[in-house]
Structure formats: C-alpha cells, structure tokens
Chains A and B, each alone.
Chain A
Amino acid sequence: MSLLKLKDIEKVVDGERILKGINLEIEEGDFVAIIGPSGSGKSSLLYIMGLLDIPSSGEIYYKGEFLDLKNREFLSDFRNKKMGFVFQFHYLIPELTLLENVMAPQIKKGVSLKEAEEKARYLLERLGLSGKEKRMVYEVSGGEMQRAAIARALANDPEILLCDEPTGNLDSKNTERVMEIFEELNREGKTVVMVTHDLSLSKRTKRVIEMLDGEIIKIS
C-alpha cells in the first residue's frame, strides 16, 4: 500500500490549470525528486501533497485512507503529526531561538515543554548544531539555518519529509551536507519528496518525477 496517493489532481488558479490530471503514488521509504523547469507545477504539486493547498478536483489518500480536504483543522493537525516541511529558505521564526524553533511544532502537537526541549536538543545535536541551541536565527550561518529548519521538520518524527528546493540557497559544501542528511534519514526509513531543479541531486534519489506544464511527463 502506498503512503501517499494522488488521484486525478487538478489545480486551477485564476482560470489557468497549473496541475493537470496528476496521478501519483509515493511509497513508504521512497526518496523522490520532482524536477522540471520553472512554472512546471513542481512546488504546486508539493504543496498539495503536503495538504497546504487544496486541489480544485481530485482525491488524496494516505495509507489508503481518503483525506477530507475540506476540513482545514483536520488537515493542519494531520500535517503537524505526519509531515515535515523544508523550504528553499530556512523560514525559521526570527523571534525564536534555534531551540524554540524546533520546539514549536512539538508544542503544537501537545508535547510538554520539557520533552519538546529534550527532543529539540537531540535533533540539533544530530544535525551538528550542538552548542547553538540558544542562538537566535540571525546569529548562525545559512547552512546552519537550513539544518535547523530540517531539525524543525523532523521534530514530530514525521512519516514523510516534503522539501521545496532545500539546497537552492546553499553553497556546494552545505548542499552536500544537507543531501547526506536526507539520504541518512531515508536509509532510516523516512519517506523524502524533494522538489529540485538540480539534476545532479535528483540522481541521488530513488525515483525522479519529471514535470512540464502542470503534467507528469515521466517517472523514472
């Protein structure tokens, strides 16, 4: 049974079909790269997979269960518990320390402050940010920010990690480090879906989905 199944997904924005008849299954433990030129619908597809955006038509199943896409509260709760997002820019909350940023999704889940802090410290340490827990976002480098963002995405131990150009803003050294983290997480059983325009990165994933003009043109 697939982890995530998209059936006949269409997305229309201002009269324009930006996603056309998407049918896609993501298996548990998969590592998928979504590639394609700008405007091909990669990010739109990722947002729909992550339940951040609602398709104009079509259905989404998670482990075979139909998801009620009209219930925003349910979708938010589902996203909090099952999914982790990593964006091109770190998008950490600047008012919070790195530690607090990683604690935020856990507190939303209902984890106690103490447990959330312990887990956040563990994740930051695992991603090489030990000793920088109390730093504010602007006090660390771009690579460190992105690793903190990955730690935040992992905070609630999600089943699927959705990444939108996660290395798009990093130098080659940090890109390599982030990719190694994703590979390691995938080896541990995490499902990773990554939107990228960097073909060299897509070669390191298990599957590649090619998109053009809102359609999947090839899955390899």
Chain B
Amino acid sequence: MIASIFISRAFLKKRKKQTAVSILGVAISVTAFIVMSSIMFGFQKYFIQQIIDIEAHLTIKPKEEIDEGRIIRRIEPEALVKVFGNKPKEKDKILGWREIIRRLERHPEVIGVAPHLESKGVLKYGAKEKPVSLIGIDPKREAKTSVIERFLEYKNLKELESRRDTIIVGKVVARDLGIKEIGKKVVLALPNGETKILKIVDFFNSGITNIDSSRVYLPIKTLQAFLGRPDEVNILIVKIKDVNRAEALARELKKEIRYEVESWQRAYLNFLKIFKVQNMITYMIVFAIITVSAFGIFNIIMMTVMEKRKEIAILMAMGYTPRDITSIFLFSGIIISLLGGVLGFIMAWGILEYLSSLELNIEGLLRSKGFILDRSIKYYFAGFLLSFFFSLLASFYPAYKASKLNPVEIFRSL
C-alpha cells in the first residue's frame, strides 16, 4: 500500500493545476451538501419543533359530516341525483368533554388535555380590520398542554385568568393592525354580529407566520359568553410524552372516542409533504454537483492513465502487481477526495459562520432575524462520505483500465 501511495502522490504532484481543480470540485460539492443540508434541515426542524410546541400533539374535534349516501342518490331505478354538499346536521361541539378529559388524563402517554372553543372573528383597531381565528382557552390547562407561555412576549398568560375582557394577539395580527404595545383596546366583531371591546395583554410570537398572522387567544368563558355557547367546547388539545407516537395514539383513541382524533403529523401533512419534495429537489441539485466533481476526478485520473502508460509498464516491470496499479490510481481519487473533503469542511464551516452572523428579516413560512441553521456534525460526515464514495467510483474505472495494460505492448509501441 505504501508503494502505491508513494507513486500516486508523485503522479498527482506532477499535475498540480488539474489536481487542484479536482480538489476544489470535491470541496464545492461537500460544501454544497453541508450548507444546503444545514439550511434546509435547520428550517424544517425549527418549523416542526415550533409546531410541536405550539400546536396540540393530538386534536380532538367533531367529525366532519360527509354523508356519502346523500352525495349520489338513486331516486328512480334509472336516475341518479348528485347533491353538491349538505348542511351540517351535528352541532360543532364536543359533548361530555369533561369526562373525555378525565379519561384521557388517566392515559399513561398523556401529559395534559385542554379545552378550546374556537371560532372566527374580525379584530378592529381604529380604521384597520383583520380577520382572526378566535381561540378560547383555559389558561391553567393550556399551560400544561402547550408551551404557549414561551412564545408570549410579556409572559402575561395569567392576565387571561384574572380579567375576562382580555386578549392575546398574534404578533403579525398586531403589526397589521398597527399595534406596537400592549394595553391597547381593540374591537372584536363576532360571527353573531355583536362587537366587544377587549384589552391586549400580550403578543404571541411563535415565528410561524401562518399562526402569528391569524390567532388571538381569549379566556374560554369570555368567548363562550360572547358566542352564547355556555360551557361549550369544540376542540380538545392533548399533549403526549412521545411526539413521534402521535399518529399511533390517534388511531388508538379513535376507537375509544366518537370524535375525530388528529395527530400533529396529519394536521401538518401538507407541510411535511412539501418538505419531502424540497429535500428531494435539494439533494438532486447536490447530486448533480457531486456528479460533476466526480467527472472531474474521472477526467484527471483517466488522463493520467493515458499519459502514464509508459510509467505503468515500467512499474509492472519492477514488479508492481495489477492490484498495485489499481491502488495507485484509486489512491489518487482518495487523496483528491480527502483533501477536497477537508477543504469542503473548512469552506462549509466558514459559510455557515457567515450565514449565522447575518441579521436579516426573513419572512415567509417562518419569521426570523436570520438563517435558522442546523449545524450538526452529521452533515459533515454525510457530505464527506457521499463525496468519498463518488470519488472512489469515479477513480475505479481508470484504475481498473490501468491494471489491464499490457507492458509488453507498451514497450513495443515506444
């Protein structure tokens, strides 16, 4: 092996420029993999973590009424009638919700359960209006089932307990209405046409635009009173010990409860699907970059083999075996990929350092003051291994070709 490295190193040194370009190619592909993975997974993990923290792990709600039998109905032996939708028959509420909470709280996998009354409304501040999702909560129970308090700018969740005319509004809702500080009074227009005046006691800022631009929280009793639905609840949120068990637990609870049980994964299925597609596209791009760099390695090693036929024949005359000859050129690929990998690590680290230091107002699916990066070491390893594998693959064919050269034919041709 030392003999192969000894010769391999000499061949690479002779082709300094081409070797440097190949090393750079590998470095760029490793960098691209690490940086893109860090950005992509940083964003996705953050999003999922926020969702898990803010949202219920399980949501129990009334079943949506889809009366299959009424969609297509046979009215005559040879005539069908198609009904485009039907009015909900069942009221939007959970009956016996206290009993359900008691039962669920006894479940070993459940941490806490909280009731919600959810509805729609329009929030007005001065001349500005904003449609919002109203969530009536029991602050004590809510604190047990979500980490809502973590996202409150002034940690005033208890204010909802002590005063009935209080409201917590999403940060983007407040911004869109032009509200910059708490204590302001807003008018809430309800679906029944009534309007109420509420005092803002806090801002809710999860970083997820979709949530912060639509939600407002108010005491459940206040909302029940406003809507004329005393003691009514239409959602139960459940926090469980292992978030990854949410889907399995939802299936289990569906058998026991007559209401719809939805896991957070199902609720955010569309986002998770988008992430999958996003990952696929990203890795296709990275794959293309790695393939180009692998071709660079293939090119330099193949050219070396073509140009070094005489030297290969001499090495064979010296007693270098076909396996040694293969090793010489495989080592060339390995040396390039190792040096490229190390350079890629440094470049990726530098770029990630730079990105993490940037202060940007990013507003999309998430809002943040800069890039959300996952700087796990595993992306460095994965990038390196992937690039190493492709480099080895690219070196193999020319190395194999070199080992198959016939020294006598080469000597005769000189």
> Chain A residues in contact with chain B, CB under 8 A?
43-44, 47, 50, 52-53, 72-73, 76-81, 83, 85, 87, 89, 91-96, 100, 103-105, 107-109, 113, 152, 156, 164
Contacts and interface: CB of A to CB of B under 8 A. Distances in A.
Contact of A105 (B311, B319, B321): B319
B322 A80 contact: no
B316 A108 contact: no
**Closest 4 pairs (CB-CB, A-B):** A80-B319, A95-B10, A76-B321, A108-B3
A93 B314 contact: yes
Contacts of B248: none
10 contacts: A52-B407, A52-B408, A77-B321, A85-B317, A89-B414, A93-B314, A104-B7, A104-B315, A105-B319, A108-B324
Interface string B4-23: 00110011011000000000
Chain B interface size, as a band, is 20 to 34
Interface in B303-352: 310-311, 313-324
Given A47-B411, A95-B10, A95-B13, A79 B322 contact: no
Contact of A108 (B311, B318, B412): B318
B interface majority secondary structure: helix
B14 A76 contact: no
B323 A73 contact: yes
A72 B414 CA distance: 23
A175 B397 CA distance: 42
Contacts of A77: 319, 321
Q: Which of B2, B317, B321, B322 has the most CB of A within 10 A?
A: B317
A156 to B, nearest CB: 8
A72 B321 contact: yes
Contacts of B6: 100, 103-104, 107
Contacts of A76: 316, 319-322, 324
B10 A93 contact: yes
Main SS class of interface, A:
helix
Nearest to A89: B414
Contacts of B14: 94-95
A91 B2 CA distance: 22
Contacts of A78: 319
B2 A107 contact: yes
Given A95-B14, A107-B6, A108-B318, 7 more contacts: A52-B407, A72-B322, A73-B321, A73-B323, A79-B317, A83-B319, A104-B6
B411 A87 contact: yes
A53 B319 CA distance: 13
B11 A109 contact: no
A94 B2 CA distance: 19
Contact of B318 (A47, A53, A85, A164): A85
Given A76-B322, A79-B317, A47 B11 contact: no
A87 B128 CA distance: 94
Interface of B: 2-3, 6-7, 10-11, 13-14, 310-311, 313-324, 407-408, 411-412, 414
A73 B317 contact: no
Contacts of B324: 76, 108
A152 B317 CA distance: 11
A44 B317 CA distance: 14
Contacts of B311: 93-95
Nearest to B5: A107
A169 to B, nearest CB: 12
B189 to A, nearest CB: 83
Contacts of B317: 50, 52, 79, 85, 87, 91
Nearest to A95: B10
Nearest to B2: A107
A76 to B, nearest CB: 4
A105 B321 CA distance: 11
A83 B311 CA distance: 18
A79 B314 contact: no
A149 to B, nearest CB: 9
Contacts of B322: 72-73, 76
A79 B316 CA distance: 9
Nearest to A113: B2
Contacts of A87: 317, 411
A88 to B, nearest CB: 9
Nearest to B318: A105
Contact of B319 (A44, A81, A93): A81
